[in-house]
Structure formats: structure tokens, C-alpha cells
A and B are shown apart, each in its own frame.
Chain A
Amino acid sequence: TGVLVIQNEYIRATFNPETGLLMQIEDLEQKLVLPVSQAFFWYNASTGDERSGQPSGAYIFRPYGLKPLPVSRWAQIRVLKTPLVQEVHQNFSAWCSQVVRLYRGQRHLELEWTVGPIPVGDKWGKEVISRFDTPLDTKGYFYTDSNGREILKRRRNYRPTWKLNQTEPVAGNYYPVNTRIYITDGKKQLTVLTDRSQGGSSLQDGSLELMVHRRLLLDDNRGVGEPLLEEGSGSWVRGHHLVLLDAVGTAAAGHRLLAEKDVLAPQMVLAPGGGAPYQPG
């Protein structure tokens, strides 16, 4: 049919077979459709410039330019469909891949990303993001949580208690994301739940991004005294983002319950079986 689809009772995710990238999410119950393009990009870490000598480092996020570079404009894909799960395996580069997963009965899309070791042979520090682009008219607003408790309304290039002179158009709009970030146009809401604290922002209307990994070559002179640069080939990380598309009125119930399930996920312990009966003594 020219498109690639994974689907369960509640969600349909459509991929562009040419690029291998996610291009649409549908909530089949509520009949919501949202074009979503998701891909990985990286910011070139600043080493200091004429405006400021501040390099990007462990404490300071300061990209060299406004626009991140794509890790790849397309992904090699493989598809797996079984009665219990449907997955699209996307390979963006030797150091960046992702599995987009839909289990039976699940009301969200799971994006399990694996990033690293980030190559720095070109002498550029890199700060890698996962970015979701949608046509939602978000009017400069987005929402992030504070320690999984209060959701705070964020406005681009604005602070509620003083007149902001924005000198860092990217980093100055980044906020901590402890469990979730979302954007809405007042009707539909796209929520992304994280499995760890990350930096996140919405630098364009309808866009949402989360920083998943970084590797830097310079110290930021804020007290650490060494660059954020692991020994050897560098570290690689695997995590997941849970993506929910919902109507604004019902979105909170969905992301609150799902975040609880993710943060307090069931713990598994294995045993060979056939052990002796337990005696209190």
C-alpha cells in the first residue's frame, strides 16, 4: 500500500517505507489522527564563541548553532509482527537505533532507543536528541513536570516573573523533564513519558524534543574539572519513551496512570524451581 503500519486494538502507527521514519499516530478509539515525524538529531557542542567563551560541558548545555543535525535522514528498517507484539526496528547509524513497539492491548507507543558510543573523532562534542515534529499549533507553549508532581506550563523565550533577554535560544528554552513532557493545540495532546530525567523543550510550535545522550570534549569551567567524556570508546545508553496521543480532556488520566506503571514497574525475580519448602526457623 506504500506505507508501513503497526497496529493493535487502540493505536495505529504509520511509517514512511522510503525513509523508515514514523509519520503518523492514530488513536483508533477516539478517532484521533496526528502526523508525527520522529527522528534523532545532534547539537554540535559549543567550544566558546565571540559572544561568550562558555563551552558546553557537564553542567552547561550550550550548542554551537540553533539547528541540530540529523543523525540520519532515513533509517534501515525491519518489521516484526506476532500476535503479542508488533515492532519496527529502525537503524539510523552505527551508534543510533530504535525499536518502535506496540504490545497487544497497549494504549501507547513504546520507543526504545539505543544511542552510543557517540563518535567524537571529528573533534565535535555531540548532544543527541529525539525530536517529534507535528502540525499542532501550540502557540509557543509546552508542558513539563517537576519531579513527577506538578505539571508546569512553559512558554518559549519567556519567564513568568521577569522580562527575559534570551541569549541562548536553544539552551535557554530547555527545561528538566523528570517523567513527562507534552504539547497540545487545545484539542489533541501528544505526551512523551521518559524513563529517566532528561532535558526537553519545544523550540518550534508543534515540535517536542528530549536529550537522550551527550559526549563532550571540553570542561565547562563550572567546577567538575573534566569534560563529560567517558574513558575508552564511550558509553552507550538504552531507554524508552512512551508516546500517548489523546484528547485534551482525557489525556491527564492516561499519562498519570501510565507514568505510575512505568516508574513503579513490576520487578522480576527468577528461580530454577523445585526448591525445598521454606521453614521459618
Chain B
Amino acid sequence: SGDSAPLEEAMAVLQHHDAVSGTSRQLVANDYARLLAAGWRPGQVLLSNALARLSGSKEAFSICPELNISVCPLSQTSARFQVAIYNPLARKVDRMVRLPVSAGAFLVKDPSGHAVPSDVLLLPQPEGQKPSPELLFSASVPALGFSIYSVARVSLQNPKAHSPERIPQKSR
């Protein structure tokens, strides 16, 4: 069973000005991180249970806290997956969703099964590394509610992926 209390307690401790402003000693910062991680785990279970109940289906839900650096093991390794998007605002929100994926073309469907426009972007990586593909699509989420989008890799002869183009500049 899930529990939100450890995360709530960690957040209460992290109201301290040292945690907010980052002025703590390194060993204290490490302890703040430990508290957050310990609170995160049972919180994630609670969230999964709530989503299973609301969506009517038990799933191995996975949260990707490293999406800001384009890391999400489930979307990067699966040919087919679902994306549940929860909107905490009391008004409808349209949002671009960006997910790291494996190479290929993808079909994204909205909650009513209609295909939505999507792009695969190939982002530049440090030299010697392969470009990392990211799937981009627009999602619409109701007020204080969630939408579930489904993503599936499709086989295309020539899947189209967009790469950033280098702009020639005078050498300096």
C-alpha cells in the first residue's frame, strides 16, 4: 500500500531556508535528498493505486523524474505504452508532451482513439554519441482531471525524424 506521509514529512523538513536556497552544508543537502527519495517511493505507490482506481485498470505505472534530461526507461524501451497526464489546475490545459523514445515512427492516439499530430526530433548529443530521438505531441487535459494518450511504434519505410540543422557562422 502507498503512503504520502513520508513525502509530506520530508517536504515539511525541506521548508527550512537552507533547503529552499541551497545554503546547507553538503552533508545536510545529502540528507535532504535522502529524505525526499525515501518519501518518493511510497508516494509513487499511492499515486499508482489512485490512477488504477480512476482508470479502472491495474498497471505497472512508471514516473520519469529525469524527463528534463530526456531519460525515461519505459518510453525509451517500449514499442507501445500509455501516457496518463494529470492536470492539477482548475481549468483545461493544452500541453506539449516530450518523451525520449527509441528510433522509429510513432502513432499517438488521444483518449477517444483519434490520432493526434506528432513529431520525432533527433536531438544533438556529444560527439561520438548517437542522436537521441524525442517524441513530441500536443495533449489536452481537463480541469482537475487526467487524459490517457496511447503511443505505439509503427513500421514505416522511411520514418521521418527532424534533426537540428547547423547554421554556418564565420569562424572566430
Q: Which residues of A contact B (CB under 8 A)?
A: 4, 17-18, 20, 58-59, 74, 76-85, 87, 89, 103-106, 197, 224-226, 228, 230-231, 238, 260-261, 264-273, 275-278, 280
Contact of B57 among A59, A81, A267, A275 (CB under 8 A): A275
| B157 interface residue (CB < 8 Å to A) | no
Identify which of A103, A231, A267 gathers the most chain B CB atoms within 10 Å of its CB.
Answer: A267
Number of A-B contacts (CB under 8 A): 154
- Given known pairs A78-B167, A267-B85, the reply for A272 and B78 (CB within 8 Å) is yes
- Whether A272 touches B164, Cβ cut-off 8 Å, given contacts A84-B117, A84-B138, A266-B93, is no
Provide the bound-state CA to CA distance between A273 and B120, in Å. Answer: 21
CA distance A106 to B57 in the complex (A): 34
In the complex, chain B residues whose CB is within 8 Å of the CB of A238 = 68-69
Q: Is the interface of A mostly helix, strand, loop or mixed?
A: loop
Contact A79-B23, Cβ < 8 Å, known A266-B95, A268-B85, A270-B61:
no
Q: Within the assembled complex, what's the spacing in Å between the Cα atoms of A261 and B86?
A: 12
Given contacts A85-B136, A238-B68, A58 and B164 within 8 Å (CB-CB): no
> Could you tell me if A197 and B81 are in contact, using CB atoms closer than 8 angstroms?
no
Q: In terms of DSSP, what is the predominant structure of the interface of chain B?
A: mixed
CB distance from A88 to the nearest CB of B (A): 8
- Other CB < 8 Å A-B pairs besides A230-B26, A267-B86, 5 of them? A226-B25, A261-B89, A264-B88, A266-B141, A268-B86
B58, A278: Cβ atoms closer than 8 Å: yes
Q: 6 A-B contacts, Cβ less than 8 Å apart?
A: A78-B166, A84-B119, A264-B89, A266-B93, A270-B82, A275-B57
* Residues of chain B within 8 A of A20, CB atoms compared: 167, 169
B residues 112-135 in Cβ contact with A at 8 Å? 117-119, 121, 124
Residues of A within 8 Å of B21, CB to CB, are 197
Complex-state Cα separation, A273 to B61, whole angstroms: 9
Which of the listed residues B59, B86, B138 has the most CB atoms from chain A within 10 Å of its own CB? Answer: B59
Residues of B contacting A104 with CB < 8 Å?
A: 138
A84 near B96: Cβ-Cβ < 8 Å:
yes
Q: Quick one: given A80-B164, A224-B24, are A278 and B55 in contact (CB under 8 Å)? A: yes
Q: Are A4 and B167 within 8 A (Cβ)?
A: yes
Closest-CB distance, A275 to chain B (whole angstroms): 4
Instruction: Indicate with 1 or 0, residue by residue over B64-87, a CB within 8 angstroms of chain A CB atoms.
Output: 100111001011001011111111
Q: How far is the CB of A259 from chain B (nearest CB, A)?
A: 11
Bound state CA distance, A83 and B121, in angstroms? Answer: 11
Chain B residues, CB < 8 A from A4: 167
Which single member of B24, B57, B63, B93 contacts A276 (CB below 8 Å)? B57
